[in-house]
Amino acid sequence: MPAERPYCEVESLEHFDALVAHGARSMRGWHLQSIDLTDRSEVLSKLDAAGALFLGCAMDERAERLVRRHGGLVFPTLPDIGFDPYRGRLYSPDELYAGLDEGGYEATCDARIYAWARHEEAHHSVGATLASALHDHAITDALEELIDGRNVVGIMGGHAVRRGEQRFADAAWLGRTLTRAGRIVATGGGPGSMEAANLGAFLAPHDDDALAEALDILGRQPDFEHDVTAWAKAAFEVRSKWSESFGHSLGVPTWHYGHEPPNAFASEVAKFFRNSLREDVLLGRSNAGVAFLPGAAGTVQEIFTVATANFYADAGTGMPMVLVGRSYWTERFPAWQLLSELGKGRPMAEQLTLVDTVAEAAAVLCDA
């Protein structure tokens, strides 16, 4: 059993009110994230703030002075950044794509944050670096809470796979099968194979006809490169049609690759500014294994990121790796030969599997 945390994360006004109603007199150990406390000044004046941490919480001036005077540590809101660096939850597709219907993709929350990041990166702003680092820390924390104790399977693959291709349908089938088996599917959160796997997870409660219909709807807008708005609207058409019952999955995209919009089928989206942190979080938390569908440089990098961890892992602690596409990974990009050589004589060898089909991959990962 994990050790009890020496602090309490308070991420909503409802949680704050519940703690007070339960008789709390001290906030020692409370970490309050991005809560509007402007209507709780009287309550705050009666609580001992020593040892409390306020991250981007709104308070009136008098309440903030009292909190600081009595030992509370206050991290202020940061101006002119367009996002909440202290957020206590992951994103949803609806949040990232807010504004899509009115102004197209360029008007969405996702596009505005990417534009901000590009501008600040060009100007080497220290304030922006701080804001993005705080944001990525908060997202990592929210992600840890989401997946704690759950079996997460990563599905990696190329962003260039188009809707309407058999490879897209195969990735959707894999995501649906793993979700039905009780796994949490995690992808890089972008288009291509990533979108397909999240789509499959989304439609896990539904039959084959629903998946076929969804693939047909999406196939009318096969890629994002020519018209991101139309590409995204097709996804939201599918989401709307099956919104009453859907499977949950995780997307972990990054604004580093701003040309790749996030897909709309991951129910929870952990979007990062730093791609290196995003890769570490995505792959390191795939505790029930990773399937590697055909892809290019990004997928190859992910293969050897996991391989490095497995190379140094003790027996029984490695992460199952399933490469899907025998000819692809032995001829087109011969990663399998390198993995096999690395694994010789090491526990890592037991974690490596090469298969031809997504059905074979699902069988391995459902047994892992």
Question: Alpha-carbon torsion 64, 66, 68, 74, what sign?
Answer: negative
Question: What's the confidence (pLDDT) of residue 122?
Answer: 61
Q: For residues 198 and 251, is the Cβ–Cβ distance under 8 A?
A: yes
With a cut of 80, say whether residue 202 has pLDDT above it: yes
With a cut of 50, say whether residue 1 has pLDDT above it: no
Q: For residues 303 and 294, is the Cβ–Cβ distance under 8 A?
A: no
Q: What does DSSP assign to residue 347?
A: G
**Angle ∠(366,358,365) on CA atoms, nearest 5:** 20
In a 13 Å sphere around the CA of 109, the CA atoms on its Cβ side amount to: 13
25-39, 124-138, 315-329: least confident range: 124-138
Q: Rounded mean pLDDT of 139-157? A: 94
Q: Name the more confident of 80 and 91.
A: 91
Question: What's the confidence (pLDDT) of residue 79?
Answer: 81
Shortest CA distance to 261 belongs to which of 226, 219, 296? 226
Shortest CA distance to 93 belongs to which of 190, 13, 211? 190
pLDDT-derived band of residue 128, with 50, 70 and 90 as boundaries?
confident
pLDDT-derived band of residue 123, with 50, 70 and 90 as boundaries?
low
Q: Rounded mean pLDDT of 215-243? A: 96
Question: What's the confidence (pLDDT) of residue 5?
Answer: 58
Question: Alpha-carbon torsion 154, 159, 162, 166, what sign?
Answer: negative
pLDDT-derived band of residue 3, with 50, 70 and 90 as boundaries?
very low
Question: What's the confidence (pLDDT) of residue 82?
Answer: 87
Q: Which residues pair with 321 in a beta bridge?
A: 290, 352
β-pairing verdict for 53-55 and 352-355: unpaired
Q: Rounded mean pLDDT of 339-347? A: 95
Question: What's the confidence (pLDDT) of residue 2?
Answer: 41
Alpha carbons 337 and 315: distance in angstroms, whole number: 21
Question: Alpha-carbon torsion 331, 333, 337, 340, what sign?
Answer: negative
Q: Which residues pair with 223 in a beta bridge?
A: none
Instruction: Report the share of the chain in percent with pLDDT over 90.
Output: 88
Domain covering 146-367 assigned CATH 3.30.990.10 in the classification:
no
**Angle ∠(35,36,38) on CA atoms, nearest 5:** 140
37-51, 70-84, 354-368: least confident range: 70-84
pTM of the model: 0.91
With a cut of 90, say whether residue 80 has pLDDT above it: no
